[in-house]
């Protein structure tokens, strides 16, 4: 049977999700814990290959197993074999045709900025510190140019191999939460570094270093040099993935 896991992690100490040589990744640690628990080979397929340092509340992965452990109990059982900075929040059986990367979905990411004179130390791992005051109105105006179906080739780092750079952003919210600013983006998929480049671009608008309208040029011309810098990984969290053809 095919099992779907909802996986949360603190990305601080990992080189991202995807397995690689000579670096510890979430996928590798989780695969080893599942193999130990189930006593069989396990091949994980993940939904989102988050970068080094990026956090997740709800990444999704599937694997096939012949285990007799009830699907809903796998989460608690595997958590006993995982380090504290990785937790399986939920486990459930899904159709054997379900693939978390190819099934139609809405992904939601949140980027957190601490906008204060001095960064409180307990926030340093989970938000990007910006001491220049950010203008929320300018950030929101800049964000509106990104909503909709567009060619986001200008908001993508080199090194990704994708068939198309067209994606749909359904919603971007920018709001204040105490001294933090949160940017929450929901879309049907994201290119390599796309959320972090959007965050970097909105921060430039908020600082007054670019006019909000220039974001439209970066979209229209699909030119990476017209968008802002890639904001640091620690501010980014994958909130969750909703699969479109499922009741949730």
Which positions are annotated as active-site residues?
A: 51
User: 32-36, long-range: CB within 8 Å, 24+ apart, which pairs?
Assistant: 33/78, 33/81, 33/82, 34/63, 34/78, 36/81
Using the rule CB under 8 A, is 147 a contact of a second copy?
no
Find the helix packing angle between 136-144 and 194-207, rounded to 10°. Answer: 130
Check residue 79 for interaction with a second copy (CB under 8 A). Answer: yes
Q: Is 15 in the site for a second copy (CB under 8 A)?
A: no
Q: Minimal CA–CA distance to 39: which of 76, 65, 9?
A: 65
124 versus 173: smaller Cβ distance to a second copy: 124
179 belongs to the binding site for a second copy (CB under 8 A) = no
Instruction: Give the DSSP letter string of 154-169.
Output: GG--TT---S--EEEE
Q: How far is the CB of 123 from a second copy (least distance, A)?
A: 9
Name which of residues 104 to 133 contact a second copy (CB under 8 A).
118-122, 124-126
User: Quick one: which of 5, 9, 110, 146 contacts a second copy (CB under 8 A)?
Assistant: 9
**73 interacts with a second copy by CB under 8 A:** no
Any contact of residue 87 with a second copy (CB under 8 A)?
Answer: yes
Tell me how far apart the alpha carbons of residues 148 and 236 are, in angstroms, rounded to a whole number: 21
* Paired residues of 93 in beta bridges: 3
Contact set with a second copy (CB under 8 A): 8-10, 55, 57, 75-76, 79, 84-89, 118-122, 124-126, 237
């Amino acid at each position: 049977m095919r099992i779907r896991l909802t996986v949360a992690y603190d990305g601080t100490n990992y080189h991202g999700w995807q397995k690689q040589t000579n670096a510890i990744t979430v996928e590798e640690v989780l695969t080893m814990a599942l193999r130990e628990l189930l006593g069989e080979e396990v091949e994980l397929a993940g939904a989102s290959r988050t970068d080094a340092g990026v956090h997740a509340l709800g990444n999704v992965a599937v694997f096939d197993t012949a285990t007799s452990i009830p699907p809903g109990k796998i989460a608690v059982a595997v958590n006993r074999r995982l380090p504290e900075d990785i937790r399986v929040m939920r486990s459930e059986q899904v159709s054997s045709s379900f693939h978390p990367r190819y099934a139609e979905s809405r992904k939601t990411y949140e980027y957190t900025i601490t906008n204060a004179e001095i960064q409180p130390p307990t926030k340093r791992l989970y938000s990007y510190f910006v001491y220049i005051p950010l203008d929320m109105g300018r950030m929101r105006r800049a964000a509106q140019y990104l909503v909709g179906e567009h060619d986001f080739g200008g908001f993508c780092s080199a090194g990704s191999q994708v068939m198309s750079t067209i994606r749909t952003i359904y919603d971007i919210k920018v709001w204040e939460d105490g001294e933090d600013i949160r940017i929450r983006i929901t879309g049907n998929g994201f290119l390599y570094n796309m959320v972090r480049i959007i965050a970097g671009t909105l921060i430039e608008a908020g600082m007054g270093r670019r006019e909000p309208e220039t974001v439209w040029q970066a979209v229209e011309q699909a030119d990476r040099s017209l968008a802002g810098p890639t904001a640091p990984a620690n501010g980014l969290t994958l909130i969750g993935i909703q699969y479109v053809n499922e009741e949730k």
